[in-house]
Structure 1
């Protein structure tokens, strides 16, 4: 495995570990995103066994002990498995997550009490150089999965930390301006990771209104360009390829033997 660090937007670094055995032969990347600010924030921690590699990569940008905030899209091993290892390594660090995730999981799982965030609430990370960093917390329940799911939007650079949205296979460049929608739809065909299609499509179209310039993708290359158009295209692709009428048409056995509705 190789862990590399690349700056994908001004002061935002992608930490990426390529694991060829996952989804072979293409392989799969597990990415974290570090915002370098007065109060640095790490979005995703990686799994527990990746902590040595990810923490070493963080240290190439800033001392790990200076981390102030840990955040992630939802409670899952690749998102927050190393959470407590980072809390131990960074004495001032706090986990910041939506209220739902704090209530159902993180109040119990985190070694220090987490900071619950309301929908639309911002964390002011302070300045670094000429830029001041602010991240907005947005609840996206069940999108792409888990009821406490959320994203973060870094307002200064227009970077949407979108977690598992746009997941795709392979070990592409750190950031690209090429279309990610086709590869993301192919990955969805394989993994079927996204739940509640109606909510997913509406949520993606709502996120498009942020007009992000960079999409920080957890699995695969990040994207630089018209993020709003990419989000709308992904929503359209999900609706066309995975709409309820297509799901039921492809899986008639799910209703086989069921009692007929009774009027």
Structure 2
């Protein structure tokens, strides 16, 4: 599939200290847009990308809010695609500043939007954190956006966070992976190369994954979806054998669990 890089007018730039950062928008699947901001003061020298994903439909959904500091960039980029007052749903992978730090700024800018999250996530955090009551969705519930269908899949502690979840968009077979497959650097919007080695290199750097006996089975369960596209929050998204990539990642985490020292 040919990627569509959005016109230069929608590449939004902002001064951050002495650096100029920008949010770049790419349509990575029909009606699914990656909004990517590369910063160099995280994981230098390669830096780190913070990616949000907009699903354009009758009821548009934003996955990942981003940190508050990036809200001016990301909201301007979203507004170039759809008026903010048309945004209907907001969700994220787990409770963390880069996932939901700007949540209430989005709720203020998009008066018709509502956070949609698992009952667990709502009960332990979002009911208190969000300025408007969220909508709780059951495990494996499908939200019909009108032209797109999004399934909510809890993944406790994968990669981290009790309330962790991923989203699966059925019409494009896109799995929104959150922090699974995190990579450093500023690669292409979408790659067809093996992303497991770069993901494990980032794991070696950050140690961010909660590696438990349930990590590999959870990833293998996601592989049963046979996603054609993995939309990844940090780093390049992946097009190709998503099931194979998930199983390979599961194998690697299982190996690390089995060789972990006993303390």
* Fold-level similarity (TM above 0.5): yes
Residue segments in structure 1 that go unaligned for 5+ positions in a row? 127-131, 250-254, 256-263
Query: In the alignment, which residue of structure 1 is the partner of 2:11?
Result: none
Whole-Å separation in 2 of the counterparts to 1:82 and 1:226: 33
Aligned to 1:191: 206
**In structure 2, distance between residues paired with 1:205 and 1:187:** 21
Q: Does 1:212 align with 2:232?
A: no
Q: Secondary structure at the match of 2:80?
A: coil
Give the 5 Å matches for 1:159-170.
159-170=174-185
Kindly report the root-mean-square deviation, in angstroms, between the aligned alpha carbons of the 2 structures.
0.9
1:59 matched to 2:72? The reply is no
Unaligned runs of 5+ in 2: 1-20
Q: TM-score under structure 1 normalisation?
A: 0.91
Distance 1:207 1:122 in 2: 16
Map 1:46-195 onto structure 2 (within 5 A): 46-126=66-146, 132-195=147-210
Q: Secondary structure at the match of 1:248?
A: coil
Distance in 1 between the 2:244 and 2:23 partners? 30
> Contact (CA 8 Å) 2:166, 2:177: kept in 1 or not?
yes
User: Match for residue 12 of structure 2?
Assistant: none
Q: State the Cα distance separating 1:238 from its structure 2 match.
A: 1.5
Matched, 1:224 2:239: yes
Name 1:260's counterpart in structure 2. Answer: none
2:43 aligned with 1:41 = no
Shift of 1:196: 3.8
Shift of residue 64, structure 1, vs aligned partner: 1.4
Aligned: 1:243 with 2:263: no
- How does the TM-score come out when normalised to structure 2? 0.91
SS at match of 2:145: strand
Is contact 2:158–2:218 with CA below 8 Å preserved after alignment? yes
**Distance of 1:118 and 1:233 partners within structure 2:** 29
Distance (Å, rounded) in 1 between the aligned partners of 2:194 and 2:223: 16
Cα distance in 1 for partners of 2:79, 2:194 equals 32
* Count of equivalent residues: 243
CA distance in 2, matches of 1:239, 1:202: 9
Looking at CA atoms only, which structure, 1 or 2, has the larger radius of gyration? Answer: 1
Deviations 1:51-83 (A, max 9, x none): 100000101211112100000000110000000
Name which of 43, 50, 53 aligns with 1:30.
50
